[in-house]
């Protein structure tokens, strides 16, 4: 059997390794449009490569049913089979070296050992399903294969993924593409934040949709010149599904400041003195204009920002939307076209920060054709 895989990202390479381990005599070719495989993986976890989450919860995916009989322990054993050890820091799983380069190097070594060929700087143009397989056309060649596996990734971070042309190709083949937008992305707000650009603060973050709470999480918020960022904001962004609605991000900057603690600080009758005691000077200056003189503690626990827009794909970690799950079989084969498979970020499947999306990419490769 001959398999052609489009895309040398995590899911594409995991698929190649999985196929060759199961069927060592099969021919597997990976076609990649850029000049290097696994580029995006080098950026994950700030270069440390967050592989998974010790408190993994499938309910955090938008389509948890796709994880099937997922076993976290089996998953860790699976990624370590690429040739590196892992360790857990807090709830997050990293390679023991805490280097994404280790993961990349070991996966590429495994490909070499299994005799998988990667054709770099080759652009996928289209494909045609035939009675005896699939014909794949690129800018350099035409391939005849038994199986086509499309794992191009999404539109996020164009230099590390694809440019979105794949979605138009798939639409021409009759696939329904769930609405696309940047995911795990900073949020632009209507409120001016230029004064505190670059400042970070820990907060409890609540997202309201039409005044109803839909998300709550503790984390570090990074102020940008025109909005909010940080992992907790990235996670909140995934819940903004209908920008036509009114969304508000509520920061509690004093999450532990209540009850007896609050009564003990009634001596701070002056707002300015209180802000000086508890916040960095520039942030105190900004907050002074946003909160009242009398109810400043309550205001600091309910500092509201109004959603204006998402940052663009270049600033996002993932693409939300993609090939609809209803078009796929459990083994990722298309229901519309035999011998055609779709994996990873290309599908309408996403999770929060903390290793969830890389876990999904690897699981796709592991479960392919099973």
At 21-54, the pLDDT tens digits run 999 999 999 999 999 999 999 888 889 999 999 9
Least confident of 11-15, 250-254, 291-295: 291-295
**pLDDT at residue 25, rounded to an integer:** 95
**pLDDT at residue 72, rounded to an integer:** 83
Compute how many other C-beta atoms are within 10 angstroms of the C-beta atom of residue 171.
12
Please give the structure tokens belonging to residue 362.
Answer: 């690897």
Contact predicate 358/10, CB 8 Å: yes
Please give the structure tokens belonging to residue 56.
Answer: 């993994």
Q: Which of 179, 94, 206, 188 is nearest to 350 (CA)?
A: 179
**pLDDT at residue 269, rounded to an integer:** 62
CA distance to 73, 150, 225, 310, per residue, from 79 (Å): 10, 21, 39, 33
pLDDT at 268 over 60: no
3-class DSSP state for residue 280? coil
Quick one: what percent of the chain has pLDDT higher than 90?
81
Compute how many other C-beta atoms are within 10 angstroms of the C-beta atom of residue 143.
18
Sign of the torsion formed by the C-alpha atoms of 154, 156, 160 and 165: positive
| Distance from C-alpha of 297 to C-alpha of 211, rounded to nearest angstrom | 21
pLDDT tens for 277-298 read: 889 999 999 999 999 988 888 8
Q: Outline which parts of the chain fall under CATH 3.50.50.60.
A: 2-182+319-367
Compute how many other C-beta atoms are within 10 angstroms of the C-beta atom of residue 273.
11
- Helix 356-367 × helix 72-80 angle, to 10°: 80
pLDDT tens for 328-367 read: 998 899 999 999 999 999 999 999 999 999 999 999 888 8
CA 269 to centroid of chain Cα atoms: 45
Contact predicate 63/56, CB 8 Å: no
pLDDT at 110 over 80: yes
**pLDDT at residue 70, rounded to an integer:** 78
pLDDT at 82 over 90: yes
Please give the structure tokens belonging to residue 206.
Answer: 């609540």
DSSP for residue 325: G
Radius of gyration of the chain from its Cα atoms, rounded to whole angstroms: 23
**pLDDT at residue 271, rounded to an integer:** 86
pLDDT at 301 over 90: yes
pLDDT at 263 over 60: no
**pLDDT at residue 161, rounded to an integer:** 60
**pLDDT at residue 266, rounded to an integer:** 54
Topology classification of domain 2-182+319-367: FAD/NAD(P)-binding domain (3.50.50)
């Amino acid at each position: 059997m001959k398999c052609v895989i489009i895309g040398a990202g995590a899911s594409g390479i995991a698929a190649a390794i999985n196929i060759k381990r199961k069927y060592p005599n099969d021919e597997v070719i990976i076609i990649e449009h850029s000049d290097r495989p696994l580029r995006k993986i080098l950026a994950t976890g700030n270069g440390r490569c967050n592989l998974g989450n010790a408190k993994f919860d499938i309910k955090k995916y938008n389509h948890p049913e796709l994880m099937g009989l997922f076993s976290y322990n089996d998953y860790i054993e699976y990624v370590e089979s690429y040739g590196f050890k892992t360790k857990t820091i807090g709830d997050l799983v990293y390679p023991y070296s805490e280097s994404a380069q280790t993961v990349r190097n070991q996966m590429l070594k495994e490909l070499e050992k299994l005799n998988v060929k990667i054709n770099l700087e080759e652009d996928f143009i289209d494909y045609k399903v035939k009675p005896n397989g699939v014909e794949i056309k690129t800018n350099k060649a035409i391939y005849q294969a038994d199986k086509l596996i499309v794992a191009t990734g999404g539109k996020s971070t164009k230099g590390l993924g694809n440019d979105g042309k794949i979605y138009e190709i798939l639409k021409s083949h009759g696939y329904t593409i769930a609405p696309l937008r940047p995911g795990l992305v900073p949020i632009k707000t209507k409120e001016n934040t230029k004064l505190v650009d670059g400042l970070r603060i820990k907060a409890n973050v609540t997202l309201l949709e039409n005044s109803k709470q839909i998300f709550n999480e503790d984390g570090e918020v990074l102020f940008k010149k025109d909005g909010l960022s940080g992992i907790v904001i990235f996670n909140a962004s995934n819940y903004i599904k209908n920008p036509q609605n009114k969304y508000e991000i509520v920061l509690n900057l004093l999450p532990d400041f209540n009850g007896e603690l609050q009564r003990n600080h009634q001596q701070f009758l002056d707002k300015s003195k209180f802000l000086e005691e508890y916040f960095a000077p520039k942030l105190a200056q900004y907050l002074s204009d946003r909160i009242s003189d009398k109810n400043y503690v309550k205001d600091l626990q309910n500092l509201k920002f109004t959603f204006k827009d998402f940052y663009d794909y270049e600033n996002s970690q993932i693409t939300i939307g993609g090939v609809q799950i209803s078009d796929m079989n459990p083994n990722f084969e298309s229901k519309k076209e035999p011998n055609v498979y779709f994996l990873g970020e290309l599908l309408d499947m996403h999770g929060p920060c903390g290793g969830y999306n890389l876990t999904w990419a690897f699981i796709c490769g592991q479960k392919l054709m099973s």
